[in-house]
Amino acid sequence: MSPHLVPLKPALYADCSCPKCGQGGPEPLGTVFPGVHVLGEYRCRACGYAFYRDLPVGFAVDNAVSIGKEDGSLHDADGAESWVTTPLMEGYHHPSGREWKIERKVYRACKDIVLLNTLDFLYGHVLLKLWNAQYYLDHHRDKGLVLILPRSFEWLVPEGTAEVWLVDQRLGEAHGWYTCIDRFVQQRLKEYDTVSLGKGYAHPDKSLVDINRFCGVQPFPMEQFLERPKQVAFIWREDRLWFRSPFAKLAWRASNKLGLKPLVHKWFVADQERLVRATWKKIKHALPDAEAMIVGLGRPSTGHGAMEDLRRERMDKETELEWCRAYARCQVVIGVHGSNMLLPTALAAGCIEVLPHDRFGNMVQDIAVRYHDLMQLFLYRFVDEFAPPATVARHAIGMFRDFKVYYRDNKVNVP
């Protein structure tokens, strides 16, 4: 069995220990698919303790937790983050009977499958799990790949997928214990001879991802960095703000705690826009032939001068594809950490990310690094969360002006 697969059928994975007495090799009883998590159901052969245990997929690859079936106790949670364990336990104790529409689309009938669960409550998490599909398509051609996927990601299903089970669920509602999802999956599992779970690593090697297979758009070719028109994109989100000072961030957080967010939100969004405009003004002054665009969720505006405004208030497949084509025209994309930077950086040549102090532990996690050599350090830049427009602009200008030397030294003049 491949280390990147978890056996489900005909024999369920049982390489675990009883969380109560520590005895290994528990008796497998079945599985549960409540949503984000996939759990095995077991009974200890020594003490008889019945429990559910995270199967090692997604974020549970390193921090699988167990739940006592009768007493509802949480076990093995020392290394697991609270944002994982708290919703899991709340869902276990209060399972939801809400019915989500789940549509099954079969492109190629198979009896031996790899089942990849991509459900999650964050956009980036779903995308990262989905990118694992490429590995299973390429390395397990004898099996059909079946995706459990939020419907809003259907446009990214790669060619060669055998089936997709589309869940009509908003990402923010994914955390929960949904009996309808488990019921649907259990019914489908009866139809296959062998089933393995794809591990769906939360942090796959993004440099190996062929983004064109997912969105149908070729990324910016680095070797044409100086040949193509100079393009910069500002990735815009109104809930991931760029603050001009520690005081501004403190005021924002205080207003949220005091319930004043509806009153001050527009001011902070407007200030972020002023920072973006000031940055672009400095870049344009140094590089007169450069062009820029703003991309993201928000109301388009006509007040950005030479910047093309591709913001949209609602998402759909055409908008997503329009944005992907825009990223692929850019040498540089600029955004705040957490601003859905995975697709922009998977398609653009390089990026500048404004990194908040409290996200140092998540550095690079939302960036799709495309290179293995020193060009990686040259083309992926991080600045302080309170970096002024002059600093951000200086990095962008330097990437254009210094590219020729760095490309020659690291891509041309090498053995």
Predicted TM-score (pTM) of the model is 0.94
Percent of the chain at pLDDT > 70 equals: 99
CA angle 115, 118, 120 (to 5 degrees): 145
* pLDDT tops 70 at residue 14: yes
C-alpha to C-alpha distance for 78 and 64, rounded to whole angstroms: 10
Residue 156, C-beta contacts closer than 8 angstroms, at least 6 positions apart:
127, 130, 214, 215
Nearest in space to 293 (alpha carbons), one of 244, 333, 324, 336: 333
Nearest in space to 375 (alpha carbons), one of 324, 325, 410, 328: 410
> Residue 187 is encoded by which pair of tokens?
């019914």
| Cis-peptide into 10, omega within 30 deg | yes
CB burial of 36-55 (b: ≥16 within 10 Å; e: otherwise) equals bbbbbbbebeeeebbbbbbb
The per-residue pLDDT of the chain, averaged, comes to 94
Beta bridge partners of 328: none
Confidence band for 239, pLDDT divided at 50, 70 and 90 = confident
C-alpha to C-alpha distance for 206 and 41, rounded to whole angstroms: 33
CA angle 200, 201, 206 (to 5 degrees): 110
Q: What is the pLDDT of residues 360-378, one digit of tens each?
A: 998 999 999 999 889 999 9
Other C-beta atoms lying within 10 Å of the C-beta of residue 93 = 10
Other C-beta atoms lying within 10 Å of the C-beta of residue 191 = 11
pLDDT score of 199 = 96
Other C-beta atoms lying within 10 Å of the C-beta of residue 5 = 20
Entry field: residues in the chain? 415
C-alpha to C-alpha distance for 197 and 342, rounded to whole angstroms: 24
Q: Which residue has 């815009």 as its token pair?
A: 236
* pLDDT tops 70 at residue 304: no
For β-strands 74-75 and 66-68, DSSP reports them as antiparallel
- Burial label for 301, CB within 10 Å (0-12, 13-18, 19+), is exposed
The Cα-based distances of 381 to 99, 269, 273, 332 in angstroms read 44, 24, 21, 10
The Cα-based distances of 171 to 10, 21, 165 in angstroms read 32, 37, 15
DSSP class of residue 411 equals: I
Q: What is the pLDDT of residues 38-91, one digit of tens each?
A: 999 999 999 999 999 999 999 999 889 999 999 999 998 888 888 889 999 999
> Residue 253 is encoded by which pair of tokens?
């957080």
Residue 151, C-beta contacts closer than 8 angstroms, at least 6 positions apart:
103, 166, 167, 168, 169
Domains belonging to the chain, first-starting first, are 8-93 (no CATH), 102-205 (no CATH), 213-412 (3.40.50)
3-state secondary structure of 32: strand
Confidence band for 409, pLDDT divided at 50, 70 and 90 = very high
Q: Tell me if 220 sits within 8 A of 331, measured CB to CB.
A: yes
* pLDDT tops 90 at residue 34: yes
C-alpha to C-alpha distance for 71 and 66, rounded to whole angstroms: 12
pLDDT score of 299 = 81
pLDDT score of 79 = 80
pLDDT score of 175 = 87
What is the DSSP secondary-structure string of 283-349? HHHH-TT-EEEEEEBS---S-STTEEE--BSS--HHHHHHHHHHHTT-SEEEEETTSS-HHHHHHSS
The Cα-based distances of 15 to 113, 115, 134 in angstroms read 21, 19, 26
pLDDT score of 77 = 83
For β-strands 332-336 and 350-355, DSSP reports them as parallel
C-alpha to C-alpha distance for 91 and 370, rounded to whole angstroms: 38
